[in-house]
């Protein structure tokens, strides 16, 4: 397990660079590593940001997918890169809030070796069931779970869907057997087929099946309703007070990025997320267009680390 150290104030990490070098940035293409496969919500958001930032900065921002080990593979590549502003990382927040607790060994420390530039949207998981389960709302589902041993699907051990459901188990004291898959797509497939009756799944991939009646939505995991499913209550609204399992995308950089370059990217994210058209595009992907600066992102990651670290220790989750 990697030991977390507090995010240091950004100024303590910044290296001085000549003024002419700062003014020239960027003078060549910027690499934006995405630490999950192409085609998912994270990749979609990263490519939208890259396209807009490339126009604004007048240099290409090239997305490079480097998936594996819950995001650790791509994140390590970013952490090892020079902190000159030409390599950035777009990740889910679980890289910082979950992985250091869940993985026995990490070749880098995401808190020490990376610094947040800002949040790049937040998202929910949606608790869905197969129609044959005959659970029309969360309370009915909890009653069924207490009466018989149900199983639930997730995109993998320590994935957002896994830890969200485990939080639900802790809060409601229901039994349920975890069936982990290698990604959201196969988990969704088996819930659709009725092989597994339920699961917290990524909202954008589940919504079409909800609308067609092939899945029954019970609740969304965050503390606000999902823009794709405005009629579906949050878990808290459905009766589990204080439940909040919202997740975020976050842009990070190798520790030590010069202050002017970091400030430029913070401003760029702010500008992109302020655009009404961009906000509508994100909402259509099931992503809440919430952005922040680096300090606010660090606070989000710190709070998430406390919440999920306690749960992972309690569950004794351990990955190689």
> Mean pLDDT of all residues in the chain?
91
125-129 and 87-92 as β-strands: parallel, antiparallel, unpaired? unpaired
Is the Cβ–Cβ distance between 92 and 247 less than 8 Å? yes
The pLDDT, as a whole number, for residue 111 is: 96
> How many Cβ atoms from other residues are within 10 Å of residue 108's Cβ?
16
The pLDDT, as a whole number, for residue 283 is: 87
| Average pLDDT value for residue range 46-73 | 95
The residue among 294, 202, 180 whose CA lies nearest residue 246 is 202
Please check the confidence at residue 110 and state whether its pLDDT lies above 60.
yes
Between CA 251 and CA 198 the distance in angstroms is: 32
Q: Tens digit of pLDDT for each residue in 246-269?
A: 999 999 999 999 999 999 999 999
**Which percentage of the chain shows pLDDT scores above 70?**
93
| Average pLDDT value for residue range 281-308 | 92
Q: How buried is 292 (Cβ within 10 angstroms: 0-12 exposed, 13-18 middle, 19+ buried)?
A: buried
| Average pLDDT value for residue range 167-175 | 96
**Which percentage of the chain shows pLDDT scores above 90?**
79
Residues 6+ apart with CB under 8 A from 230: none
Please check the confidence at residue 149 and state whether its pLDDT lies above 50.
yes
Residues 6+ apart with CB under 8 A from 12: none
Is the Cβ–Cβ distance between 95 and 72 less than 8 Å? yes
The pLDDT, as a whole number, for residue 8 is: 44
Please check the confidence at residue 198 and state whether its pLDDT lies above 70.
yes
Cα 68 to Cα 73, 136, 203, 209, 320, distances in angstroms: 5, 36, 22, 28, 12
| Average pLDDT value for residue range 145-167 | 94
The pLDDT, as a whole number, for residue 145 is: 96
> How many Cβ atoms from other residues are within 10 Å of residue 222's Cβ?
23
Q: Which domains does the chain have, with CATH numbers?
A: 10-122+246-315 (3.40.190.150), 125-220 (3.40.190.10)
Cα 142-144-148 angle, rounded to 5 deg: 120
What is the DSSP code (8-state) at residue 131?
G
DSSP string over 139-152: HHHHHHHHHS--EE
Between CA 127 and CA 215 the distance in angstroms is: 10
Q: How buried is 286 (Cβ within 10 angstroms: 0-12 exposed, 13-18 middle, 19+ buried)?
A: buried
The pLDDT, as a whole number, for residue 11 is: 39
How confident is residue 23, by pLDDT bands cut at 50, 70 and 90? Answer: low
How confident is residue 222, by pLDDT bands cut at 50, 70 and 90? Answer: very high
Is the Cβ–Cβ distance between 57 and 30 less than 8 Å? yes
Between CA 273 and CA 289 the distance in angstroms is: 6
């Amino acid at each position: 397990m990697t030991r977390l150290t507090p995010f240091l104030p950004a100024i303590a990490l910044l290296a001085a660079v000549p003024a002419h070098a700062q003014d020239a940035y960027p003078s060549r293409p910027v690499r934006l590593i995405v630490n999950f496969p192409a085609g998912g919500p994270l990749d979609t958001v990263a490519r939208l940001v890259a396209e807009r930032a490339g126009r604004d900065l007048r240099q290409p921002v090239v997305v490079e997918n480097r998936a594996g080990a819950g995001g650790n593979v791509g994140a390590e590549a970013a952490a090892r890169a020079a902190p000159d502003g030409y390599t950035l990382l777009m990740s889910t927040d679980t890289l910082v809030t979950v992985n250091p607790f869940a993985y026995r060994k990490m070749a880098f420390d995401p808190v020490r070796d990376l610094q947040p530039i800002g949040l790049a949207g937040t998202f929910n998981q949606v608790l869905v069931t197969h129609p044959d389960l005959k659970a029309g709302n969360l309370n009915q589902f909890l009653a069924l779970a207490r009466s018989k041993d149900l199983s639930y699907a997730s995109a993998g051990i320590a994935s957002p869907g896994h830890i969200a459901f485990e939080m639900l188990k802790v809060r409601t004291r229901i039994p349920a057997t975890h069936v982990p898959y290698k990604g959201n797509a196969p988990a969704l497939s088996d819930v659709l087929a009725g092989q597994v009756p339920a699961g917290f799944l990524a909202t954008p991939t589940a919504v079409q099946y909800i609308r067609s009646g092939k899945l029954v939505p019970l609740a969304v995991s965050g503390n606000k309703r999902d823009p794709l499913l405005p009629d579906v209550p949050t878990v808290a609204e459905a009766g589990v007070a204080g439940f909040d399992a919202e997740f975020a995308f976050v842009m990070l950089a190798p520790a030590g990025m010069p202050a002017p370059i970091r400030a430029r990217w913070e401003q760029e994210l702010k500008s992109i997320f302020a655009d009404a058209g961009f906000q509508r595009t994100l909402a259509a992907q099931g992503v809440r267009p919430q952005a922040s600066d680096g300090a606010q992102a660090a606070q989000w990651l710190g709070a998430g680390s406390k919440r999920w670290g306690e749960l992972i220790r309690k569950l004794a989750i351990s990955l190689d």
